[in-house]
Chains A and B, each alone.
Chain A
C-alpha cells in the first residue's frame, strides 16, 4: 500500500503577523509543519503499521521551504518529494491542486492521499476536494477515525465531521482524505527520526519533471492588510463578593443590550 501525505511549511501559530511593504511578515517566528498535517501523518503511519506499505511526504514551496517534509521524515515517513519551481509562484488553490495531482500521478500507484483539513496560513480548507477532483478520485474531508480498512479489497469506513455531528461512510480506494484533530495526538519525532531526516535526500520536482505547463491561476490577492485595532474600553467589574460582581455583570449585560 502506498500513502502520500501532502504537507506544507507555515509560520508558527504563535507568530504575530504583520504586513510590511505589501508583503506578509511573521517577524522572527519559527517555521513549522502546518499543525493540521501532523494528524494526517499520524493517520498514515498508523495505517502503515497495520497494513504495511510506504508513506511518502509530498511538499510544495520554495526550494528552501523544507521544514514540513523534514518533520514528516522525522515522524517516520519513508520518503519525501519536494515540488518547487519559480513558475509556480502565485499559484491559486486550483493550480496547486493540479500540480499536486500531477506529482501524485508521477509518484504513481498511490492508494491513499492524506492531508490536513486546512493550512493555518490561507485557511481555505478546499485543497482536499480539489486534489480529489483533479485526480478523479472520491474525497472524504474531515475524517476523525478509520475502520474496516482493506487495501486489497480497496474499501474502508470513516467517520467524518459535519455541523450536525458525524457521518459514517464506506468509501473506495484510491481516495483523498483530510484528517482532523480529533483523530488523536500525533507522535513526536524520535531522536533517531530527527537524525534520519537531517541526512535524508529527496528529489525536487519542477514543471518539467512533472511534464506539465504551469497551470493558470485566476484567484489573486491584490492586497493584504492588518485588521484595524479593536478599540475596547475594558470595564473591570468591582465588588466585595463574587455575588456582588456577578450581579453587577448581569446588570451590565442587560443594560447594554448585549443580551
Chain B
C-alpha cells in the first residue's frame, strides 16, 4: 500500500489521547512510500509534533495559535479539512474519541466523502479498505467500505497496537497558516470541570464494575435518618468504595451496570453497555452484576472476565473465565488485601 495518510492527534491541553498513536500506527502501516503525516492543532503543542515523529510520522502539520488553546469544533474541523485537501490525503485517520467522532463527521461533509466509524479491524482488497465495525453494541459485526477519497477512518481505542516510540526518530514540521477571526467562531469556552487523575473507561486495561449487588449487603447499617431509597444508595456507595479500592490497587477504571446508574448509585459516565460505553479491557471484574444482555454487549470483548455474584445462575458467569459465587462485600476485602500483598502495593 502506498497511501498518503494523515492522522489527527487528539489531545486535551497537550495530553494526547493514547488511541491517537494507535491510529497513527495504522497511518504508518498503510503509508509505504506515500508518506505518513500527522496533524496537531492547539497552542504551544510543538512537543506533540516530536511525539508524533517518535510514533511513526514522517511529517507533522502543525497549527499552533493562541485561538486554538481550547478545543472547539468549528475552527478545528475547518483546519482538518483544509490540511486534508491541500495534502491530498488518501486516508484520514482519527482515534474514536468524543471529540474525533464529530470532527470526522464534519470533515466527511466538507470533503464529500464518508466515515468508517469506530473500526476494530482493517483489511485491504485491491487497494481499498474493508473495515470491520461492531454495531448493536457488538451483537453484530458489519464490514464497511467507503467509495470516495479521502477515506476517513476512526479507530476504536485498544483495537490496534500502539507503535513502539523511537526516541531517535524525527521528521519535517510543516507550519499550517492559521487565519482566525475570533468574532467568527460561534463558541467560547467558559470553564472546565475535569477529573483529577482517574483512568478513562475506553482506554483502561483493567476495569472493575459494580451493579445492583452493591446495595445488597445484609450487614451494613445505614444512618437512621435516611428513607428507604436513600439507605439503598448509601449501601451502594459503600459497595462502590470497595470497588474503587480494588480499582486503585489494579490501576483500573471503575465501571457500572445500567441498573446501578439508573438507581443513582454512581454517575452515568461510569456506565458500561449498550446505552453506555463499550469497553474492551484485558481484565474486566464484574461485581454484583447479573449480566443483562445490554451489559454483556458492552464488555463481551474483554480478554478475561471475572464475575463475583451471589447468584450462581447469573448470566454473567457464562462469559466469565473465573467465577466466584459469593457476596461482593465478603469477597472484595480479602481480595484487595491479597492482591496488595501479591502485587507488592
Contact = CB atoms under 8 A, between A and B. Distances in A.
Nearest to A141: B102
B322 A168 contact: no
A93 B115 contact: yes
Nearest to A134: B109
A157 to B, nearest CB: 7
Contacts of B312: 236
Given A93-B114, A218-B148, A227 B140 contact: yes
Nearest to B185: A138
B165 interface: no
A182 B267 contact: yes
B140 A19 contact: yes
A218 B113 contact: yes
Main secondary structure of the interface of A (DSSP, over half): mixed
Contacts of A134: 109
A171 B187 contact: yes
A13 B274 CA distance: 7
B334 A242 contact: yes
Given A97-B109, A133-B109, A249-B306, A221 B192 contact: no
A153 interface: no
B300 A230 contact: yes
Contacts of A128: 102, 105
Nearest 8 CB-CB pairings of A with B: A126-B105, A129-B105, A165-B194, A219-B114, A242-B330, A129-B102, A246-B334, A250-B338
Contacts of B271: 181
Interface residues of B, number: 101
A201 interface: no
Interface string B259-300: 001000001110100111010001100000000111000001
Interface residues on A, range: 35 or more
Contacts, number: 273
Contacts of B342: 250-251, 254
B142 A221 contact: yes
Interface of B: 12, 15, 17, 70-74, 77, 97-99, 101-106, 108-110, 112-118, 130, 134-148, 186-195, 200, 202-203, 206, 250, 261, 267-269, 271, 274-276, 278, 282-283, 292-294, 300, 303-306, 312, 317-327, 330-335, 337-339, 342-343
Interface stretch (A44-52, A61-69, A115-123): A115-123
Contacts of A120: 136-137, 274-275
Given A133-B106, A247-B338, 9 more contacts: A123-B134, A123-B135, A123-B136, A128-B105, A141-B101, A225-B143, A226-B140, A246-B332, A258-B304
B274 A130 contact: no
Nearest to A235: B322
Contacts of A162: 12, 71, 97-99
B304 A256 contact: yes
A142 B190 CA distance: 16
